[in-house]
Amino acid sequence: MTVSEASQVAGVSIGTIRNWCKEGEIQTTRTLGGHRRISRSSLLEKLGLQAASKSSRKYVCVYLRVSSESQRREGSLDRQKERMVEFVKEKFGLAEDDCLVIRDVASAFGQRQGLMKMIDGILSGDIGTVAEFQDRLSRTGSEYQMLLHLMKQNGCELVFAEQTIKDESEHGYLVREVIDYMTVLANRVSSSKAAKLCRADVRDEVVERTKEIEKEGCGLYWAVKILREEGVTSTIKGEERLITYSVLRKRLLQEQVSYRKYPENPNRIPKVDSPVIERFIKERCVISKEETEWSDELYAAYVTWAEQQGKRPQPRRAFAENVKRLGYKTYRSTKSRRRWQGLKLLDAR
């Protein structure tokens, strides 16, 4: 309890409580912020109030934890606290001020000062009940069993606000162990990758070049391949590195640029015509309803024409989708080959 709360319980001034602390007549501890906290049991001993039962001198501890500082800023810790306080109120009839709320912002496998503080309270007998969500206190079965044994040996009860684990068999235990370890490792890899992306610097001219490639009908994967072949780099920690898909996509999202990912799938991309394909058809093809052309020959002619124009050819499927958007259709002429309806190469006439 705080110095003010102790003065109200003892019926003396705050100065008297502080003098008792200095003289060592009552036990005190310090919080992480350096604030003094007074042991309720030692204060009652000082006042000679030993008639109170042991259970009345124990706190209900609410344990809260989030894995990262970003989760805390997003309000995950506050929402967790609201649900836990409501649970304690319904189950024990206690308000928030009557509970000991301990918070941790750390991974389940990291150093947790709040957990150490809670264990100290259990060993000293100040904490009689620990309330938490099932996976906040521990993510592994071995650590959980040790904490549970520690609580039982010191007369502490563990209650869950939400218990999601129902399979208590040995097989279910092993499955949960593997899943928990994989979850933590995956989060570490994702956090490291996200931090790397946030430090990457992509120049404005790279974004403009990406938009030009998109106008040619290429998706983001193909655009990254083109940019890497052109030697385009991004800056990460002052070091120039070849552009990657994740870095470029992060920058495009920051610029609020909508970029299609799969140009070959018409159901997942906007229907826009490609001016490059349209110009190729006007220059190298005869347009007539009676004419047809093999798809292989048409694409080969397009590749040759694009290289002569100094442009990079589109992939075959992207080329076919762009031609279809211009209103042309294909049909199967043989078992394995298709023909374009309405087009004929000038060289083939």
Sorted by where each begins, the domain ranges of the chain are 1-53, 58-164, 200-254, 275-348
48, 136, 141 from 169: Cα distances, Å: 50, 21, 13
Q: How confident is the model at residue 217 (pLDDT cuts 50, 70, 90)?
A: low
Q: How confident is the model at residue 197 (pLDDT cuts 50, 70, 90)?
A: low
Q: Which pLDDT score is estimated for 167?
A: 53
Q: Which CATH architecture has domain 58-164?
A: 3-Layer(aba) Sandwich (3.40)
Inter-axis angle of helices 220-229 and 245-254, to 10 degrees?
120
Residue linked to tokens 């709040």: 114
Least confident of 153-157, 233-237, 275-279, 322-326: 233-237
Of 256 and 270, more confident: 256
- Check if the beta carbon of residue 303 is closer than 8 Å to that of residue 313: yes
Exposed, middle or buried by CB within 10 Å (0-12, 13-18, 19+), for 267? exposed
Give the CATH fold of the 1-53 domain: Multidrug-efflux Transporter Regulator; Chain: A; Domain 2 (1.10.1660)
Q: Which pLDDT score is estimated for 259?
A: 54
What would you report as the CA-atom Rg of the chain, rounded to the nearest whole angstrom?
34
Of 274 and 52, more confident: 274
Q: Which pLDDT score is estimated for 300?
A: 92
Length of the chain: 349
Residue linked to tokens 């001993």: 45
Q: How confident is the model at residue 262 (pLDDT cuts 50, 70, 90)?
A: very low
Q: CA 237 to CA 138: how far, in whole Å?
A: 35
Phi/psi for 312 (5° steps) reads -85, 130
Query: Mean pLDDT across the stretch 69-88?
Result: 86
- Check if the beta carbon of residue 16 is closer than 8 Å to that of residue 7: yes
Q: How confident is the model at residue 269 (pLDDT cuts 50, 70, 90)?
A: very low
Of 169 and 95, more confident: 95
CA 335 to chain CA centroid, nearest Å = 48
Tell me the per-residue pLDDT of 290-334, one tens digit each, with 9 for 90 and over.
889 999 999 999 999 988 988 878 888 888 888 888 888 888 887
3-state secondary structure (DSSP) of residue 8: helix
Tell me the per-residue pLDDT of 11-44, one tens digit each, with 9 for 90 and over.
788 889 888 888 888 888 888 778 888 887 788 7
Q: CA 322 to CA 263: how far, in whole Å?
A: 9
Q: CA 34 to CA 36: how far, in whole Å?
A: 7
Q: How confident is the model at residue 170 (pLDDT cuts 50, 70, 90)?
A: low
Give the CATH fold of the 275-348 domain: Arc Repressor Mutant, subunit A (1.10.10)
* CA terminus-to-terminus distance, the chain: 96
Instruction: Kindly state the tokens that stand for 185.
Output: 């490792």
63, 84, 170 from 130: Cα distances, Å: 7, 11, 26
Query: Mean pLDDT across the stretch 213-221?
Result: 75
The DSSP secondary-structure symbol of 136 reads T
Q: How confident is the model at residue 145 (pLDDT cuts 50, 70, 90)?
A: confident
| Neighbour-count burial for 162-200, b at 16+ CB within 10 Å, e otherwise | eeeeeeeeeeeeeebeeebeeebeeeeeeeeeeeebeeb
Q: CA 314 to CA 278: how far, in whole Å?
A: 13
Whether 1-53 and 58-164 share one fold: the answer is no
3-state secondary structure (DSSP) of residue 273: coil
133, 143, 180 from 139: Cα distances, Å: 11, 8, 6
Least confident of 6-20, 237-251, 278-292, 317-331: 237-251
